[in-house]
Structure 1
Amino acid sequence: MLKTALQRLSRGLRHESSPGHVQLPLPPTLPASLGCDAVGIPAQHGFRLMARLPRKGCIFADAEWWWWIVPAGSDLDLTWPSPARYVAGTTVPAAHPRLIHWPEDPTPYTPPIPFYLMVCQLTGTAPSWAPDGTAGTVPAQRS
């Protein structure tokens, strides 16, 4: 856990924007007291995940990716499965994302554990909370 926290801290110190990256503009009326990170999901899976999650925070989307706001550190001791992209902070590799979902709750966050479990189910990856952050792959079922 300490190793993961140190890695998180070292990459979390970089907030500068680079070419092809944009800052997701969080609504100022929603307090983000826990800090914010973003999880990107390919757009073709966006509506499916959105429909199945009971609570959703701010969601930004462009033509290729949907970006879900989660509390900072939602990657500690776990690995978000591919093709999901976990980004420390809210500067994401996107073209022109816009806010497509305003949460009913007074915070910008999607609860990370249910969201992580849904992403694992979508990708066929077994959820894992291993101390080294490794997650396993679910073997393909034979018919």
Structure 2
Amino acid sequence: MLSLDSLVRMGRGRHVVRAPRRLLVPEGMTAPMGCDAVAVPAGLGPLVLPRLPRVGCVYADAAHWWWLVPSDSDYALEWPAPAQYAIGAVLPDAVSGAPRLPGLIHRPDGTLPYTPPIPLYLALCRLTGTTPTWSRPVTA
């Protein structure tokens, strides 16, 4: 017969806590404003690129394209679905369980890894048919 303490220890042993996986800023680049990421389904990625005046670091896997943006680029913005906002550029569990991190597919010239968030937000709104947050009517 197992004691309650043994059962609790066994239950805890089954849960493996993984360190969060995050997109890394490439060597030689700095992120003085912190770093978050915006992900879109892989099919949207190629449609977003030509709409941006400047493209920072972009990562991709089979399912998503990820853009590095300065921290807090979600402040007062509702990123349009199906975009996902990742604070700290930490990958969601579904992606972080993958064997490899998404690969870097675009590295900008210079030392800053950022895609400007407002043009990225507007491009995503346009492609998804979403009205930007600041353009929506205010209701009482």
TM-score of the two chains, using structure 1 as the length reference: 0.73
Identity across the alignment (%)? 50
- What is the distance in 2 between the residues matched to 1:35 and 1:71? 6
Residue 38 of structure 1: aligned partner: 37
- The 2-side partners of 1:78 and 1:108 are apart by 21
Distance 2:103 2:41 in 1: 15
Is 1:106 aligned with 2:123? Answer: no
Distance 1:117 1:86 in 2: 15
RMSD between aligned residues: 2.1
The one-letter amino acid of 2:74's match is: D
For the 8 Å contact 1:43–1:61, the answer to whether it is kept is yes
C-alpha separation between the residues in 1 aligned to 2:21 and 2:130?
Answer: 29
Where 2:105 maps in the other structure, the secondary structure is: strand
Number of aligned residues: 115
Q: Structure 2: where are the runs of 5+ without partners?
A: 1-16
Q: Hey, what's the Cα distance between the residues in 2 that align with 1:23 and 1:106?
A: 19
Contact 1:41 1:83 in 2 (8 A): yes
Alpha-carbon deviations, 1:63-104, whole Å to 9, x = none? 000110000000001100100000111111223301110012
> TM-score w.r.t. structure 2 length?
0.75
Structure (1/2) with the larger strand percentage: 1
More helix as a share of residues: 2
Partner SS for 2:123: helix
The answer to whether structure 1 residue 27 and structure 2 residue 26 are counterparts is yes
